[in-house]
Amino acid sequence: MKNVMKSTLIIMTVLATGIAQAAEIRVGLVVKSLGNGFFEAAHEGAKEAAAELGDVSIIYTGPVTPTAEGQIEIINSLIAQRVDAIAISANDTDALVPVLRRAQQRGIKVVSFDSGVAPAGRAVHLNPSSNELIGQMNVELAEVALQVTGSKKGDIAVLSATPTATNQNIWIEEMQKVLPQYPDLNLVSIVYGDDLADKSYRETQGLINSYPDLKVIVAPTSVGIVAAAQAVKDMNKTGDVYVTGLGLPSELAGHVDSGVVNSFAIWNPIDLGYAATMISYDLVKGTATETEVDMGRLGRATLDAEGNAAMAAPFVYDSSNVKKFASIF
């Protein structure tokens, strides 16, 4: 009888240990909208981090259209599912704060990445690069594109995502800070395509029709830059108007070949999703500090007083390297 009880105890202990080992940390990866190549690449990075960590599962989700309301509904669902962490690219910096505060009150760790949430709604925000460097890079890309047109001076315009997109607005502000250093660039308009391909396309058409001296369109959005490039091509403006900004090599390689895009920049979204997942894990495990978080193979990131961190500097793609990277993301 004692041996039976002992065996039963051993079996129960093994089962309990197995259950404990099987317990996963669940991270809700909430993107601006589904069907966006940038965020699909970020999802690949998140899955890479989960595989490396071994005890993490990723719930990849987002609204069909990039709205704060859609993200709020999804966050409420994740709270109900009692996930351990939420990593989110925000459609609105302030509108998500109340629901994310509620998530934090339930013990859920919140990380924003790419497009930030106000500090009250998250523990850490991971910028893909520094805002200053991104703003500077967009202006430099516009300067290079203007030189390709052969013009000494020219009008440029910005095609952004939504008017409330946190990262877009900050980058445009940083662009405006450095534009006085480039007197040959004349910013004539800022328009919004709402990160929708059809609207971004129409806004590009409007810019070209409204500004006959327009030489460069800067689109710091992966959806907008593709739509703008297609509009320029369809309007037979290749060589007259160049498109640049932030985009994915896989989506822009053809437009580089056609001459609509001379060069563009982006950080690696795979790394961004990977780093956001690693930081989420670091917070859940309680191993993050007030000044540093772990980004796995990308090293440790330093946090400022508001919990902001930067991953890396933007990287420029052109005809010399775009096809190589197009096979990756």
| CB-based contact 248:328 (threshold 8 Å) | no
Tokens of 76: 């409420």
| CB-based contact 229:260 (threshold 8 Å) | yes
Q: Do β-strands 25-30 and 56-61 pair in parallel, antiparallel, or remain unpaired?
A: parallel
Measured between alpha carbons, how far is 318 from 305 in angstroms, rounded to an integer?
37
Cα first-last separation, the chain = 63
| CB-based contact 117:301 (threshold 8 Å) | no
pLDDT tens digits, 38-79:
999 999 999 999 999 999 999 999 999 999 999 999 999 999
Amino acid at 194: D
Of the two residues 2 and 126, the one the predictor is more confident about is 126
Is pLDDT of 7 > 90?
no
Average pLDDT, the chain: 93
Is pLDDT of 253 > 70?
yes
Q: Where are the beta strands (DSSP E) in 39-147?
A: 56-61, 85-88, 109-113, 124-127
Query: Would you place residue 23 in the very low, low, confident or very high pLDDT band (cuts 50, 70, 90)?
Result: low
| CB-based contact 246:255 (threshold 8 Å) | no
The predicted structure's pLDDT at residue 312? 79
The predicted structure's pLDDT at residue 327? 85
209 φ, ψ (degrees, to nearest 5): -75, -30
Domains of the chain: 2-128+268-312 (3.40.50.2300), 131-266 (3.40.50.2300)
Q: How many CB atoms neighbour CB 290 within 10 A?
A: 8
Measured between alpha carbons, how far is 248 from 325 in angstroms, rounded to an integer?
9
| CB-based contact 299:116 (threshold 8 Å) | no
| CB-based contact 38:222 (threshold 8 Å) | yes
pLDDT tens digits, 193-229:
999 999 999 999 999 999 999 999 999 999 999 999 9
C-alpha radius of gyration, the chain, whole number: 22
Amino acid at 320: S
Q: Which residue has the tokens 């020219």?
A: 154
Measured between alpha carbons, how far is 196 from 91 in angstroms, rounded to an integer?
13
Tokens of 188: 């004539």
